[in-house]
Amino acid sequence: MSRKALTRKAQLMRKLAYAPYSGYRVGAALLGRNGRVYAGCNVENASYGLTICAERAAYCQAVADGCRGFEALVVATEDGGAPCGACLQVAREFGPGLDVALVDAAGRLRQTTLAELLPLPYVSKPRVRAKRSR
Ligand code: THU
């Protein structure tokens, strides 16, 4: 999938966001090393802290599909805002190398990387080898 198509997917996902409390809709499209695209949108809740960010929703889709390696992430918002620290930390879990593009509602694109957005991540060695059933 081209980066343009990945961007389009993130923008489409933004339309599916459930954000009645903040009004800030976010769409994410994540390109796996398997060539597949995993998408997510933010899902808010009356109990605000239960809100799920678009990026983490996309990562959950990917891992549930057996994908743990990623090439690129596109995040679509109104203003081209960067992912929150929690989402960056989740992205970092699956490796330091990731192209990140931020796109605003007008289609303006800002190209960056996970390393630039999270230069000094928290890292911890897994103590048990994470198994995969398939
Ligand atoms: N949000 C995301 O979906 N991703 C981020 O990286 C930052 C914030 C959502 C959470 C909430 O629904 C809304 O944006 C306002 O914070």
Ligand 1, residues 56, 84, 87, 100: which to mutate, most atoms within 8 A of Cβ?
84
Mean pLDDT in consecutive groups of 10 residues from the start of the chain, 134 residues: 95 98 98 98 98 98 98 98 98 97 98 98 87 64
Neighbours of 72 (CB within 10 A): 19
HSE at residue 52, side-chain half, CA atoms within 13 A, is 14
Instruction: Respond yes or no: is residue 55 known to be catalytic.
Output: yes
How far apart CA 107 and CA 28 sit, in angstroms, is 14
Report helix, strand or coil for 66: coil
- Compute the distance between CA of residue 27 and CA of residue 100 in angstroms, rounded to an integer: 13
Provide the whole-model pTM.
Answer: 0.96
Cβ atoms of residues 44 and 19 within 8 Å? yes
